[in-house]
C-alpha cells in the first residue's frame, strides 16, 4: 500500500520532467516549428542548472539558469530556421549533437560536485492523510507547476487572442502574414518559449529529480518529449497524461528491479524506448487522424513575399 | 540593412565553398574557446590539424576512424537524398557489431581465414535487420522514422549490454563486461605491417565508388533522388517512394552494420559495452558536410577523424576534456547549415526603404 503511494509519487515526478519539456515543444510546434534539438537543449540546461545550483545553493536560480540556457540555444536554432530558412530537421539535429558534446565539455568539473540536502515540500495537513498524502502531497512544487502550465495552455491556445494567433501561424503562415502579423517574430518567440521550458525540464532533472550531473543524463527524454507531442495530437491535456504514462513506465522499471522480478535489467531499461515505438505505431496507423490534428505548416519554412 | 535575396539559381560556387566557410568559422570559434580557457591556441590548432596527419602512423589512425564514418555516411547520404531521416545509424552499427561478434567469438585459432567474410556479411545482415524495423514501421504504420530509428539506438545499446554482461561474458574475463578476445583468423587483415589501418578502408573506398555509380549512374539512384526530393513528381513518373524508403534504409543499415563488424573484428577484437562511441551520430555530420556526395564524404570523414584524434590529444597533452571533439563537430554542422544559406540566397546591403515597402 505504502509502496504504491511512493510509486504514484515517483510517477508524477518522472512525468513532470517529460511534461514540461513536451509542453514547451507543443508551443513551438503549434506555431509550425519542430525542434529536434530538444535533447541537446535539455542536456545543456541540465548542466547549466546544476552548476547554478552548486554555486548558488538555490533551486530557483538553477531553474532560471536552465531556462536561460534553453532559451538562448533555441534562439540560435530559431534564427537559423526562421530567417535563414535552414532545414528544421537538420538544424535541430545539429543542436542535439552540439548539445551532447557541449554539455559534456562544460560539465566535466561538475561530475564530482554534489548538491546539499534537498528541500522537502510537504503540504501541511494534506500530506498527513494516509496513502493520498505520500502519493500526492509531498511533491516538489514543479509537479504543480506542470499541471498549472497545462491548464494555462489549454485556456491560452483555445480562448485567448494571442493563442489563436499562434495557432493561425502554425496552420497558415501565409494568411497570418497577409493579416499583418509578424509571423517570423512570433515563431521566434514560440521557439524561445519552447526552449526555455525544455531548459527548465533539464534543470529540474539534474537538480531535483536525479539530483546529479552525469554526461548524457537525459537519456533520450528530449526525444520522448518530441514523440509525446505527436501522441497527444498537440493537445496540452493529452501531453500531461501521456507524460505521466511514460513516467509510470520509467518508474515501473525501478520498481520491478526492486522487487527482484527475474527480468534482465536491460529489458527494463529498454522499456520506455520500446513503449515509445509501440505507442508511436498505434497512434500513427491512422494517418488521416494525425494529419487532421497536426499544425498544417509544421516543419515547413516560411518566407514572406518569397 | 542586410537582406537575403533569392538567387535565380542555386550557386554552384557556394555548394563547394560552404563546407570551407563552415570549417573556417569552426576554427575561429575554436581559437576563441582555447583563449577563453587560457590555453595556447596555436598548440590547440596543432593538436587538431597537424598532429593527426604528421606521419604514416597518424594517417593510419585517421584511416581507422574514417572507415566506419565513410561507410555509415554513405548510407545516410542515400537516406537523406531520399528524404528518409534515418538518425539511428548508431543502433544499426551496434547490431552489426553484435552479429559479427556472435560468429567471431566462436572461431578458434584453426578456423579458416575465410571466416572473415562470413563475419562481415553477418554484420551487414545485422544492420539491415535493425534498419528494417524502422522501414517496416514507417511503411506499414506510418510511424515517424526519426523517432523510431533513434529509440532503437537505445534498445540496441541494451541488447549489447545484455549480451556482454550476460550470456556472452568471457568466463575468464574477471567479470568485466566483455566477450572473449576473438581468435586470430577472425581479424580483418591489416594493410601494412606495424600500422593498425586494415582492409576495411579499402572496402569503404570501394563503397564510395559503388555509391557514386549507384547514385548518379544507375536508375535506382535516380529513383531515390526523385522519391525524396519531389514525391509527387516521382509518383507521376511511376516510381514508388516505398521502394526508395526500403532501398535507403536497408542500404544504410547494411553499411552501418558492416562498419560495426569491421570495428569489432578490427581495432577492437572483442565486444565490450563500449562498442558504441557515437560514429553513427558523427556520420550524420560527415554526410552533410560532404554534401551528401560520396567523394565529399571521404574528405569530411578525414576531417571528422582529425577532430576525434585531436580531441584525444588535447585531453592527454592540454588537459582539456575529450568531449571538445563533440563541441567542434556540432559547431561544424551548425556553421555549415548557416553557410548553406548562401547557396540559395545572396546577401545584399540595402538602405531601409519606406516603412510600407519594407516587408
| For residue A225, pLDDT beyond 50 | yes
Q: Do A266 and B162 touch (CB under 8 A)?
A: yes
pLDDT, tens digit, 9 for 90 and up, residues A115-134: 777 777 878 878 778 887 78
- Where helices occur in A138-285 by DSSP H, the ranges are 141-159, 161-171, 173-178, 183-204, 221-231, 236-259, 265-284
For range A211-223, the mean pLDDT = 91
Say if A178 is an interface residue toward chain B (CB within 8 Å): no
A304, B113, B326 from A96: Cα distances, Å = 28, 42, 11
Residue A16 C-alpha, separation from nearest chain B C-alpha, in angstroms: 20
Least confident residue range of A101-115, A160-174, B72-86, B258-272: A101-115
Of A80, A89, A94, the CB nearest to B85: A89
- The domain of A233 spans 2-115+134-293
* Least confident segment among B181-195, B201-215, B227-241, B244-258: B227-241
Helical residues (DSSP H) of A31-87, grouped into ranges: 38-56, 59-78
What percentage of residues in chain A have a pLDDT greater than 70? 98
The β-bridge partners of B198 are B190
Which of A266, A275, A276, A299 is the best mutation test for B, with the most CBs of B within 10 A? A266
Contact A264 B166 (CB under 8 A): yes
Among residues of chain B, what percentage have pLDDT more than 90? 52
Is A98 in CB contact (< 8 Å) with chain B? yes
A6 pLDDT exceeds 50? yes
| A300 found inside a domain | no
Q: What angle do CA B114, B122, B171 make, to 5 degrees?
A: 85
Give the pLDDT confidence score for residue B150 in this predicted structure: 94
Over chain A, what is the mean pLDDT?
A: 89
Is pLDDT larger for residue B8 or for residue B118? Answer: B118
Domain count, chain B: 1
Domain hosting B103: range is 40-319
Nearest Cα to A11, choosing from A268, A264, A242? A242
pLDDT band at B39 (very low <50, low <70, confident <90, very high): confident
What's the pLDDT band for A147 if we cut at 50, 70, 90? very high
A254–chain B Cβ distance below 8 A for any pair? no
pLDDT band at B323 (very low <50, low <70, confident <90, very high): confident
Between positions 64 and 93 of A, the ones with CB within 8 A of B are 76, 80, 83-87, 89-91, 93
Give residue B351's pLDDT: 62
Contact A179/B at CB under 8 A: no
| HEC profile of B168-221 | CCCCCCCCCCECCCCCHHHCCCECCCCCCCECHHHHHHHHHHHHHHHHHCCHHH
Mark which residues 2-61 of B lie under 8 Å from A by CB.
4, 6
Percentage of chain B beyond pLDDT 70 is: 91
Tell me how far apart the alpha carbons of residues B42 and A101 are, in angstroms, rounded to a whole number: 22
Asked whether residue A302 is domain-assigned, the answer is no
- Partners of B326 on chain A (C-beta within 8 Å) are 97-98, 100-102, 104-105
**Residues B264, B338: Cα–Cα separation, whole Å:** 36
Residue A306: predicted pLDDT = 44
In this prediction, residues B67-93 reach a mean pLDDT of 94
Q: Find chain B residues with C-beta within 8 A of A219's C-beta.
A: 154
In a domain, B264, yes or no: yes
Q: Which residues of A touch B334 (CB under 8 A)?
A: 76, 80, 91, 94-95, 98
At A33-51, the pLDDT tens digits run 999 999 999 999 999 999 9
Q: How confident is the model at residue A140 (pLDDT cuts 50, 70, 90)?
A: confident
pLDDT reported for residue B340: 87
Domain membership of residue B56 (yes or no) is: yes
**Cβ–Cβ of B151/A274 closer than 8 Å?**
yes
- Whether the per-residue pLDDT at A224 is higher than 80: the answer is yes
Q: In DSSP terms, which residues pair with B272 in a beta bridge?
A: B178
Asked if pLDDT for residue B359 goes beyond 60, the answer is no
**Residue B174 confidence (pLDDT) above 80:** yes
Q: How far apart are alpha carbons A166 and A152 in whole angstroms? A: 15
Domain count within chain A: 1
pTM: 0.91
Q: Is residue B311 part of a domain?
A: yes
Measuring CA to CA, how many Å separate B60 from each of B203, B209, B235?
15, 21, 46
Nearest in space to B90 (alpha carbons), one of A216, A206, A135: A216
Q: Which of A44, A81, A97, A230 to mutate to test the interface with B (most CBs of B within 10 A)?
A: A97
A180 interfacial to chain B (CB closer than 8 Å): no
Per-residue pLDDT of B293-304, as tens digits, reads 999 999 999 999
Cβ(B323)–Cβ(A108) under 8 Å? yes
- Measured in angstroms, the CA of A194 and the nearest CA of chain B are apart by 19
- What local confidence, expressed as pLDDT, does residue A262 receive? 75
User: What's the rounded Cα separation, in Å, for the pair A251 and B140?
Assistant: 31
C-alpha cell belonging to residue B346: 545572396
- Picking from A236-240, A260-264, B318-322, which range would have the lowest pLDDT averaged per residue? A260-264
The rounded distance, in Å, linking the Cα atoms of B105 and B122 is 13
pLDDT of residue B227: 58
- Do B268 and B65 meet the contact criterion of CB atoms below 8 Å apart? no
Contacts of B268 (CB under 8 A, 6+ apart): B97, B275
Range with the poorest average pLDDT among A37-51, A168-182, B70-84, B235-249 = B235-249
Residue A126 belongs to a domain: no
* Cα B346 → chain centroid: 31
Exposed e or buried b for every residue in A177-190, given b needs 16+ CB within 10 A? beeebebbebbbbb
The CATH number covering residue B280 comes to: 1.10.3470
pLDDT at B264: 94
User: What residues in A contact B158, CB-CB < 8 Å?
Assistant: 266-267, 269-270
For the cut 80, the answer to whether the pLDDT of residue B238 exceeds it is no
What is the tens place of the pLDDT at every residue in B85-136?
A: 999 999 999 999 999 999 999 998 988 999 999 999 999 999 999 999 999 9
Is A219 in Cβ contact with B154 (below 8 Å)? yes
Per-residue pLDDT at B356 = 45
Identify the CA nearest to B154 among candidates A10, A239, A41, A224.
A224
What per-residue confidence (pLDDT) applies to B358?
40
**Which is more confidently placed, B25 or A112?**
B25
Tell me if B276 is assigned to some domain.
Answer: yes
- Mean pLDDT score across all residues of chain B: 88
Mean pLDDT is highest, among A117-131, B34-48, B83-97, B209-223, for B83-97
CATH number at residue A258: 1.10.3470.10
With 60 as the cut, is the pLDDT of residue A247 above it?
Answer: yes
Q: Which of B84, B132, B143 is the mutation pick for testing A, counting most A CBs within 10 A?
A: B143
Amino acid at each position: 500500500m505504502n509502496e504504491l503511494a511512493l510509486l504514484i509519487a515517483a510517477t508524477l515526478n518522472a512525468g513532470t520532467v517529460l511534461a514540461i519539456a513536451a509542453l514547451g515543444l507543443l508551443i513551438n510546434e503549434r506555431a509550425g516549428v519542430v525542434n529536434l534539438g530538444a535533447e541537446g537543449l535539455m542536456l545543456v540546461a541540465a548542466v547549466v542548472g546544476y552548476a547554478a545550483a552548486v554555486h548558488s545553493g538555490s533551486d530557483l536560480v538553477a531553474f532560471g539558469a536552465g531556462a536561460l540556457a534553453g532559451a538562448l540555444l533555441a534562439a540560435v536554432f530559431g534564427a537559423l530556421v526562421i530567417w535563414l530558412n535552414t532545414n528544421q530537421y537538420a538544424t535541430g539535429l545539429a543542436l542535439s549533437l552540439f548539445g551532447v558534446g557541449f554539455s559534456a565539455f562544460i560539465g566535466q568539473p561538475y561530475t564530482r560536485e554534489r548538491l546539499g540536502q534537498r528541500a522537502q515540500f510537504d503540504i501541511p495537513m494534506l500530506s498527513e492523510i494516509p496513502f493520498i498524502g505520500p502519493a500526492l502531497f509531498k511533491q516538489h512544487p514543479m509537479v504543480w507547476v506542470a499541471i498549472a502550465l497545462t491548464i494555462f495552455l489549454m485556456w491560452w491556445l483555445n480562448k485567448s487572442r494571442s493563442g489563436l494567433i499562434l495557432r493561425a501561424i502554425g496552420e497558415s503562415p501565409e494568411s497570418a502574414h497577409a493579416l499583418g502579423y509578424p509571423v517570423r517574430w512570433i515563431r521566434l518567440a514560440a521557439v524561445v518559449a519552447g526552449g526555455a521550458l525544455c531548459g527548465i525540464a533539464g534543470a529540474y532533472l539534474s537538480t531535483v529529480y536525479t539530483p546529479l550531473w552525469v554526461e548524457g543524463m537525459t537519456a533520450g527524454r528530449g526525444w520522448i518529449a518530441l514523440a509525446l507531442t505527436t501522441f497527444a495530437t498537440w493537445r496540452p491535456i493529452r501531453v500531461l497524461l501521456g507524460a505521466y504514462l511514460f513516467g509510470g513506465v520509467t518508474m515501473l522499471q525501478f520498481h520491478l528491479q526492486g522487487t527482484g522480478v527475474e527480468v534482465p535489467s536491460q529489458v527494463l531499461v529498454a522499456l520506455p524506448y520500446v513503449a515509445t515505438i509501440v505507442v508511436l505505431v498505434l497512434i500513427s496507423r491512422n494517418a488521416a487522424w494525425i494529419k487532421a490534428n497536426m499544425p498544417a505548416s509544421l516543419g515547413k519554412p516560411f518566407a514572406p513575399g518569397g | 540593412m542586410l537582406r537575403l535575396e533569392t538567387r535565380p539559381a542555386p550557386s554552384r560556387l557556394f555548394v563547394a565553398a560552404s563546407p570551407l566557410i563552415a570549417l573556417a568559422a569552426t576554427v575561429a570559434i575554436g581559437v576563441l574557446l582555447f583563449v577563453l580557457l587560457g590555453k595556447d591556441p596555436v598548440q590547440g590548432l596543432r593538436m587538431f590539424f597537424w598532429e593527426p596527419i604528421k606521419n604514416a602512423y597518424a594517417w593510419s589512425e585517421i584511416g581507422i576512424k574514417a572507415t566506419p564514418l565513410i561507410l555509415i555516411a554513405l548510407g545516410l547520404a542515400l537516406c537523406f537524398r531520399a528524404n528518409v531521416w534515418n538518425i539511428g545509424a548508431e543502433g544499426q552499427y551496434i547490431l552489426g557489431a553484435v552479429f559479427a561478434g556472435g560468429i567471431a567469438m566462436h572461431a578458434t585459432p584453426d578456423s579458416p581465414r575465410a571466416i572473415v567474410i562470413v563475419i562481415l556479411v553477418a554484420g551487414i545482415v545485422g544492420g539491415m535487420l535493425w534498419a528494417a524495423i524502422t522501414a517496416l514501421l514507417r511503411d506499414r504504420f506510418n510511424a515517424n522514422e526519426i523517432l523510431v530509428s533513434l529509440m532503437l539506438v537505445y534498445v540496441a545499446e541494451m541488447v549489447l549490454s545484455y549480451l556482454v554482461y550476460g550470456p556472452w561474458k568471457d568466463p575468464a574475463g574477471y567479470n568485466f563486461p566483455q566477450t572473449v578476445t576473438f581468435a586470430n583468423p577472425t581479424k580483418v587483415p591489416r594493410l601494412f605491417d606495424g600500422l593498425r589501418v586494415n582492409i576495411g578502408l579499402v572496402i569503404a573506398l570501394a563503397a564510395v565508388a559503388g555509391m557514386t555509380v549507384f547514385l548518379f549512374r544507375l536508375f535506382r539512384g535516380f529513383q531515390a533522388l526523385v522519391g525524396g526530393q519531389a514525391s509527387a513528381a516521382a509518383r507521376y513518373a511511376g516510381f514508388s517512394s516505398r521502394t526508395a524508403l526500403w532501398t535507403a534504409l536497408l542500404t544504410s543499415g547494411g553499411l552501418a552494420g558492416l562498419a560495426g563488424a569491421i570495428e569489432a573484428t578490427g581495432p577492437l577484437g572483442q565486444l565490450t559495452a563500449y562498442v558504441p562511441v557515437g560514429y553513427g551520430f558523427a556520420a550524420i555530420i560527415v554526410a552533410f558536410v560532404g554534401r551528401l556526395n560520396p567523394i565529399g564524404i571521404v574528405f569530411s570523414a578525414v576531417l571528422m577523424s582529425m577532430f576525434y584524434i585531436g580531441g584525444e590529444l588535447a585531453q592527454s597533452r592540454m588537459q582539456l576534456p575529450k568531449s571538445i571533439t563533440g563541441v567542434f563537430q556540432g559547431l561544424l554542422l551548425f556553421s555549415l547549415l548557416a553557410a548553406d544559406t548562401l547557396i540559395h540566397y545572396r546577401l545584399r546591403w540595402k538602405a531601409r526603404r519606406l516603412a510600407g515597402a519594407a516587408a
